[in-house]
Amino acid sequence: MNNFKNKTVLITGASRGIGKATAQAFAEQGAKVAINFRSNRKAAEETLRALPGEEHALFQYDISNEDEQQQLVGEVIKHFGILDILVNNAGISIEHDIESISFEEWSSAFKDTFQTNLFAVANLSLLAAQHMMKHGGGRIVSVSSRGAFRGEPTKPAYGASKAALNAMSQSLAKKLAPHGIYVGVVAPGFTETDMASKTLTPVERENLLRESPFKRMAQPEEVAHAILFLASEKAAYSSGTIIDVNGASYLRS
């Protein structure tokens, strides 16, 4: 099923976890993948080597930096000639418990979280959309979180940034539809990536396993599947949709 044959897709934070699984899934369906990463070149190169096909490329840019946002999109378009799909996957999560934090730490957590999780997504979406408007349309898919709906008591900036991302994406879905640009969001629950597995304590793992009736966490490939659906041509009328991938751990009305 080569839905993405010869399509160019830029995935932010693509060197590991959900981003890596998404890069693999797109490449398996014939896409040319632009792998964005910030610092871990070794992991990015390993991801690149694992992809089927030979036209993929690495792009090292920090998307929290406005200058580098513009450089990233510009370099991807220069390299491939076109950008068909943008996947806003990169994000950060900072612990900032209101019961035990200074004003400066609290303020910094909000600024840093929103800079990456919302402002960077907004700016990259602008840059991609303006290019797509001139070249027959495209797809923008962003990775949110169940935390946007259920709340994040010890990471309120994270939950707030993802809720704002959802609202912005739905606004863009309305605005960009006449231009043939379709916008969607995937909201995973906790996903069992290599990094997460190394940092979880046994108690934290057990608590996470209890959250879903499946008694397990999401796998990166399951999230990638939802991303590919929203990026596909057959999902055009699903523009504006937010797909939950949380194993029924949080159900919203």
In the chain, the domains with their CATH numbers are 8-241 (3.40.50.720)
Matching residue, tokens 């800079």: 115
**pLDDT of amino acid 194:** 73
* pLDDT surpassing 90 at residue 132: yes
Average pLDDT over residues 209-227: 94
Residues marked active site are found at 158
Q: What are phi and psi of 60, to 5 degrees?
A: -90, 105
Order of strands across the sheet with 32-37?
Answer: 57-60, 32-37, 8-11, 85-88, 138-143, 181-188, 242-245
**What 8-state DSSP symbol labels residue 238?**
G
**pLDDT of amino acid 45:** 97
Using an 8 Å Cβ cutoff, are 159 and 148 in contact?
yes
Structure tokens that stand for 79 in this block: 């390299």
- What is the value of pTM for the model shown? 0.96
Residues in the chain: 253
Between CA 59 and CA 75 the distance in angstroms is: 8
Instruction: Please write the tens of the pLDDT for every residue from 164-211.
Output: 999 999 999 999 999 999 999 999 999 988 767 777 888 988 988 999
One-letter identity of residue 126: L
Instruction: Please write the tens of the pLDDT for every residue from 69-79.
Output: 999 999 999 99
